Structure formats: C-alpha cells, structure tokens
C-alpha cells in the first residue's frame, strides 16, 4: 500500500488498469483454460473483470452439478425462508486444476443485501427519544430534525450540521460510482433534485453481467435512490454518478462482478457500497477474491467506502459477534452510524453511537474480523515505542481487522428524506446506507481539491485518516464518546462494543470534521518527490461584510494554492478554498470580525505557508 501512504516515495504513483494487469493480473493461460472449458461444455462466459481474476460463468444448475461433483438442494433457514445450495464442496475438473483459485455462487442464502432502514413516521415514535440530548448532558442540542418532507434531513441540513463546503476548487472533476443490486426510477432522483433545488448531476447506468436494469425490488430501488440522493446532497458539483447494476445473481456474485468492472473501467475516483452480509455468509473464497480486486482499486487510486452494517455487533446472524463484508475488508473505509445532534442554529451539536436494537431499529455495525489480520494503519506507537493496536484500549483486537473506520449520521430517529415512487413517495430512511455515501461524497470534495491544484487522487484514504492520530483521537474527525452497538438482554448476554475516547469498534475514528480533514488532506498529504514550493509573497486582502478577496504573487514552484480564513477570536478555520491563480474571494465570513488570511503554496513535495494578512470585515 505504498501508493496510499502519505510521505512514501510511491504515494500517488498509481497504475492504470493495463499496467496493473500486466504486472499483477491473472495469467493468460489460466483465463484461456477457463474460457476453453466453458466453450467446450456449453457454459456462457458472462463477464471477465478485475484484471482477469474474476470470471463469471452461467449455465443451468445441472451443468455445474455435473462438472463440479455436487448436487443442488433447497434448504430452509431459521427464519423460514428457503434457499438453494450445493450439498458439498465442489471438486474441480482436471482441465481446470491449477487454473482456478476459488468458486463463488453455489448458493443464494442471501440474494439481496441492502442496508437501509425505514424510519418511523409516527410523530409519537419519532418524539419518544427527542429529548435524549438533554438527558445526556446536551442541554443546547437536540436530535437533528430537518427541513425535508416529514421532518427528515435535507441536503442543506446535512451540509450545515457537518459544515461541509459544496466545493473547494474550480471545475467538475469527480466521478462517484455506486454498487446496486437492481434498477431505480430516474424520476425518483428528479423529484429529489427538484425538491431541494440541487443541480442535475448526470447519472449513468453501467449494466453488469448482462443485467437489463429492471426495477426488480422496491427495497433495492429505494436503496439506489438513497445512495444517489446522498451523493448529490453532499457534493452537488460531482461530474457524474455511475451506477453499477447487477440484479440477476446472488449478492456475492453480483458484488464481485461489479467490483471487477469498476476496477477495470477505472473511471470513478470514489466508490460507495451500501450493502453487506456477515463474513461467514460470504465464505473464504469470496472474501479472498474481493481482497484481490480491491488491491487493484487501491493500486489505481480508487477510494472505496462501505457501510459497516445495521445490526450492531451481531450482524445479520442475530447471535454472537459478527462483522459484515465488504465493510470488514482492510482495503476499504468502513463507515459506521451515529445519532446526530444539532444546535438551535442547525450547526453541529455532537453525536452518539446509533443503537436502537431495543426498539427494533438497528444499530451501527462494528466489531472484529474473523478473517482479516490487523492492517498496518491500525497500529500506533505504544508507550515503549513499539507498535500496538489502536483499538486495544477500547475492547478492540490486537491481531485482527477492527471495524468501522469512521462514522456519520445513520439513526432512523435522525433520518434523511428520500423519494421512492414504489414506496409511496417521500420516505424517511436511516442505516449505514446513509453514512457510507455521505463519507464517499465528502471525500470526493477533498479529491476534487487535490486534483484542482495538481496533487492527484487521494485514493484509499485509511492510511491518511489514521495518520492524523495523536495517540487517542484523529484531528480530522469528531470523536464520538457515547453509546454502544450491543444489547446483552436481547442477544444472550453478549454485550457488543462501547464507544470511548479515540478509536473504538462502534464509530471508529469518529465522524467528519471537514475544516481540519480537508485542510490536512491538502497540507499533509504529499510524496516528497520534489522540494516543497517557495512561499507565496505579497499576500494582501480587501473585505466586505461577509467576503474577503485575497491576492498574492505567484511562485513558480507551486502547482496551486490553498486560501484559508481563520477567525482570530475563535481560532476556527471559517472559510477555505483552492486555486491555481493568484486571486480568490472567500465567502461565509462574519461581519465586523478580524480574520487572518493565509495563502499556502502547494505541490507534490509539500506545503509552504506564506506571511498572512490580517483583515477586519465591514459592519453589516
């Protein structure tokens, strides 16, 4: 993961799909052997993806039973639902021995796996814990209520609460990809955009494995609408949203084929996935195959953000401790869920872990992987200087991947508004299906700023996110200290995990703190390939009541500049942007207030702060 570690000489030196395939892709003789076997036995090659490592084959069940030495039977789950599955482990034909690493898709125990939760619309149910903030020591904050239909959060509410800027740099450079297990109604997206006065971000459908794009499930169509809506809500300046649809096959097959297509296309800098099932349901072959294609995506500079799950520490199994895949993959950013509190002005009022298991409204997923070892980015220096797990202080593992990495609003009691015709119109929705696209779209803003000033893609963000750690907390996140993701009374005495100072297996590093995180991504993320730029000189500024126009003299060693306004009274970075020019007007300032205006010269070697200008805005 050298390409993802800021400061590494290889940071940001990403590969193209062709370069990755040539160096790390499947061997040509392996692919040829599988294709030849398929052709000889009437089996359709539906898709080849992930640098040749993922080959989807389709044929009648009897054909696979004959060649893999299995029988397919129907079985009944504990909830009464039935599914088909092979009755034993498959045996590879001799013609494929040594050419196949694993087989996925011999059961459909989990066909669809969206992670959205419908919120209660009954006012009494919504109000039942409305005063929770005051009871928990937040007298000036209440659970967030929005200006959207049914009192749900609107895009403006989300951006105000988290102080998310719409855009930091010029142009529309970012493409965000979504994985969906079925089609959606474009009219649903149009209704959302019209309701909230948002721009019409182009949405392009990419059909996978020959899927025809049918709207085959209200739950899946609603999930797709939610994902698209959240992407536009957080970053209305996206160049395009690409929706990878695979609705014909069971979840593991659909996910792998879609990831392979995303990797080989390499047209999206950021990916969001709001689906997941327990690692045990996926199986080792699928987990390993995912890890392989995610390695390709990391090498190409694609950042993947995934829901951590909606059933707390227990996963879909409902007993014991389980984490959900793909959110537990070490090469994704796993996103948990919170209950959001806002001040009377709509500004950020704090968060706590989302846990409504007792009310049947889910909880943030989180825990310890049973498959993946502890990744390097979850190590910090201990008191003796030796590396220790960042999660150890809060019940986490010192040997296994800890989940999630970060979090954002997801509680059904602080839901977002979504339009879904198949669900009757405006609905209110929670779940980590909300928080994952929020984080993905937010990081697309950071990536946009990076590219606008010549710094390239951010890519896989975890090394950067954990890099900010100072032993206990990340400077770029709001640490979430309250709550848990378990309920021992309901789950046989198994308590789950507790939130706490620093990293925890409930909300990870915490929720986004845009001013610090976005600025850190510009000022701290570099590869050292060239010397840092000289400082910008001659910084001066003029003001109105709410704006400041900053000018400076260019330095020929900079590829761009960050312009930052710091409130002298509070120390807060109130407004910031990036530019390749030498003049920029920052908005969002307070009247009659002193500010220090910084111009930071940037290039891939680092950042250099010039001498600032101190100004006072005019009275209103």
User: Is the bond leading into 404 cis (omega within 30 degrees of zero)?
Assistant: yes
Binding residues for Ca(2+): 479-480, 502, 504
Structure token pair of residue 490: 């309901």
Please report the DSSP string for 387-452 in residue order: EEETTGGGT--SSEEEE-SEEEE--TTSPEEEEEGGGTEEEEEESHHHHHHHHHHHHHHHHHHHHH
Residue 439 pLDDT exceeds 80: yes
Residue 122 pLDDT exceeds 70: no
Q: What percent of the chain has pLDDT over 70?
A: 95
Q: Is 162 exposed, middle or buried (0-12, 13-18, 19+ CB in 10 A)?
A: buried
Q: At 122, phi and psi to the nearest 5?
A: -65, 125
Q: What percent of the chain has pLDDT over 90?
A: 77
**Which residues touch 196 (CB under 8 Å, ≥6 apart)?**
148, 154, 155, 156, 233
For residue 278, give the H/E element and its range: strand 277-278
pLDDT band at 116 (very low <50, low <70, confident <90, very high): confident
Average pLDDT over residues 430-435: 97
Q: Could you tell me if 355 and 336 are in contact, meaning their C-beta atoms sit under 8 angstroms apart? A: no
Distance CA 609, CA 601 (A): 6
Average pLDDT over residues 154-170: 89
371-388: string of b/e by CB count within 10 Å (b at 16+)?
bbebbebbbbeeeeeeeb
Residue 470 pLDDT exceeds 50: no
Question: Residues 157, 174, 180, 223: which is the catalytic one?
Answer: 223
Distance CA 155, CA 149 (A): 12
Question: Residues 30, 227, 249, 264: which is the catalytic one?
Answer: 227
Distance CA 607, CA 559 (A): 10
Residue 67 confidence (pLDDT): 94
Strands 406-409 and 333-343: parallel
Mean pLDDT of the chain: 91
Residue 528 confidence (pLDDT): 77
pLDDT band at 125 (very low <50, low <70, confident <90, very high): low
pLDDT band at 469 (very low <50, low <70, confident <90, very high): low
pLDDT band at 382 (very low <50, low <70, confident <90, very high): confident
Q: Is 108 a catalytic residue?
A: no
For residue 381, give the H/E element and its range: strand 379-381
Residue 468 confidence (pLDDT): 63
Structure token pair of residue 90: 């498959």
The CA-CA-CA angle for residues 61, 65, 66, to 5°, reads: 120
Please report the DSSP string for 318-359 in residue order: TSS---EETTT-TTSEEEEEEEEEEETTS-EEEEEE-B-GGG
The CA-CA-CA angle for residues 269, 56, 249, to 5°, reads: 85
Q: Could you tell me if 335 and 354 are in contact, meaning their C-beta atoms sit under 8 angstroms apart? A: no
Q: Could you tell me if 293 and 21 are in contact, meaning their C-beta atoms sit under 8 angstroms apart? A: no
| Domains of the chain, each with CATH number or no CATH | 11-96 (no CATH), 117-372+403-463 (3.40.50.200), 530-616 (2.60.40.10)
Question: Residues 433, 441, 484, 575: which is the catalytic one?
Answer: 433
Q: At 33, phi and psi to the nearest 5?
A: -65, -40
pLDDT digits (tens, 9 = 90+) for 579-593: 999 999 999 999 999
Q: Is 325 a catalytic residue?
A: no
Binding residues: 479-480, 502, 504
Q: Which residue has the tokens 């290039």?
A: 603
Q: Is the Cα torsion angle 249, 255, 259, 262 positive or negative in sign? A: positive
Q: Could you tell me if 174 and 269 are in contact, meaning their C-beta atoms sit under 8 angstroms apart? A: yes
Q: Is the Cα torsion angle 41, 45, 49, 54 positive or negative in sign? A: negative
Q: Could you tell me if 411 and 374 are in contact, meaning their C-beta atoms sit under 8 angstroms apart? A: no
Residue 123 confidence (pLDDT): 62
Residue 136 confidence (pLDDT): 45
pLDDT digits (tens, 9 = 90+) for 288-336: 999 999 999 999 999 999 999 999 999 988 889 999 999 999 999 999 9
Least confident of 18-27, 134-143, 278-287, 599-608: 134-143
Average pLDDT over residues 21-33: 96
Distance CA 203, CA 277 (A): 27
Model pTM score: 0.95
Distance CA 179, CA 252 (A): 12
Residue 10 pLDDT exceeds 60: yes
Q: Is 397 a catalytic residue?
A: no
Q: Could you tell me if 454 and 530 are in contact, meaning their C-beta atoms sit under 8 angstroms apart? A: no
Average pLDDT over residues 279-296: 95
- Residue of 596, 585, 586, 598 whose CA lies nearest to 535: 598
Residue 134 confidence (pLDDT): 39
pLDDT digits (tens, 9 = 90+) for 227-255: 999 999 999 999 999 999 998 899 999 99
């Amino acid at each position: 993961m050298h390409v993802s570690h800021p400061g590494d000489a290889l940071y940001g030196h990403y590969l193209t799909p062709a370069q990755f395939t040539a160096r790390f892709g499947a061997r040509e003789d392996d692919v040829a052997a599988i294709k030849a076997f398929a052709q000889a036995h009437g089996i359709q090659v539906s898709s080849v993806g992930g640098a040749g490592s993922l080959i989807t084959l389709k044929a009648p069940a009897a054909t696979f039973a004959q060649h893999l030495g299995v029988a397919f039977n129907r079985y009944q789950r504990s909830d009464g639902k039935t599914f088909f599955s092979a009755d034993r482990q498959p045996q590879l034909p001799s013609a494929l021995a040594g050419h196949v690493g694993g087989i996925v898709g011999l059961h459909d125990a989990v066909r669809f796996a969206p992670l959205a939760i419908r919120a209660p619309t009954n006012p009494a149910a919504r109000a039942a814990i409305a005063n929770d903030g005051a009871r928990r020591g937040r007298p000036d904050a209440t659970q967030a209520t929005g200006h959207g239909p049914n009192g749900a959060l609107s895009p403006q509410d989300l951006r105000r609460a988290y102080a998310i800027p719409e855009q930091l740099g010029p142009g529309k450079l970012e493409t965000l990809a979504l994985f969906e297990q079925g089609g959606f109604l474009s009219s649903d997206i149009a209704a959302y955009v019209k309701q909230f006065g948002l721009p019409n971000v182009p949405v392009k459908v990419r059909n996978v494995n020959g899927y025809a794009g049918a709207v085959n499930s209200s739950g899946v169509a609603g999930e797709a609408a939610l994902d698209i809506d959240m992407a536009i809500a957080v970053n209305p300046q996206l160049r395009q949203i690409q929706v990878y649809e695979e609705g014909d096959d069971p979840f593991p097959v659909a996910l792998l084929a879609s990831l392979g297509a995303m990797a080989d296309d390499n047209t999206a800098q950021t990916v969001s996935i709001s689906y997941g099932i327990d690692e045990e349901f996926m199986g080792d072959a699928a987990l390993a195959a995912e890890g392989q294609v995610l390695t390709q995506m990391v090498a190409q500079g694609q950042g993947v953000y995934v829901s951590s799950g909606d059933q707390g520490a227990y996963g879909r199994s409902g007993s014991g401790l389980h984490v959900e895949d793909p959110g537990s993959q070490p090469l994704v950013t796993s996103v948990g869920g919170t209950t959001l509190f806002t001040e009377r002005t709509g500004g950020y009022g704090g968060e706590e872990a989302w846990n409504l298991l007792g009310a049947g409204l889910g909880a943030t997923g989180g825990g310890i992987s049973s498959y993946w070892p502890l990744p390097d980015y979850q190590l910090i220096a201990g008191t003796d200087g030796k590396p220790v797990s960042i999660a150890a202080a809060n019940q986490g593992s010192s040997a296994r991947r800890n989940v999630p990495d970060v979090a954002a609003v997801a509680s059904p009691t602080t839901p977002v508004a979504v339009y879904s015709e198949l669900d009757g119109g405006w609905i209110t929705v929670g779940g980590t299906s909300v928080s994952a696209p929020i984080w993905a779209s937010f990081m697309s803003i950071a990536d946009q700023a990076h590219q606008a000033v010549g710094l390239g893609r951010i890519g896989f963000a975890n090394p950067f996110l954990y890099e900010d750690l100072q032993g206990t907390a990340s400077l770029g996140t709001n640490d979430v200290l309250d709550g848990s993701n378990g309920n021992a009374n309901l789950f046989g005495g198994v308590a789950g995990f507790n939130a706490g100072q620093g990293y925890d297996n409930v909300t990870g590093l915490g929720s986004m703190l845009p001013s610090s995180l976005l600025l850190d991504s510009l000022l701290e993320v570099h590869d050292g390939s060239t010397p840092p730029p000289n400082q910008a000189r001659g910084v001066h500024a003029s003001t109105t009541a709410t704006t400041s126009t900053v000018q400076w003299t260019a330095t020929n060693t900079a590829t761009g500049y960050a312009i930052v306004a710091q409130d002298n009274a509070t120390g807060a970075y109130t407004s910031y942007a990036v530019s390749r020019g030498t003049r920029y007007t920052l908005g969002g300032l307070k009247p009659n207030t002193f500010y220090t205006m910084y111009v930071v010269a940037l290039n891939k070697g680092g950042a250099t702060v010039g001498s600032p200008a101190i100004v006072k805005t005019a009275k209103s």
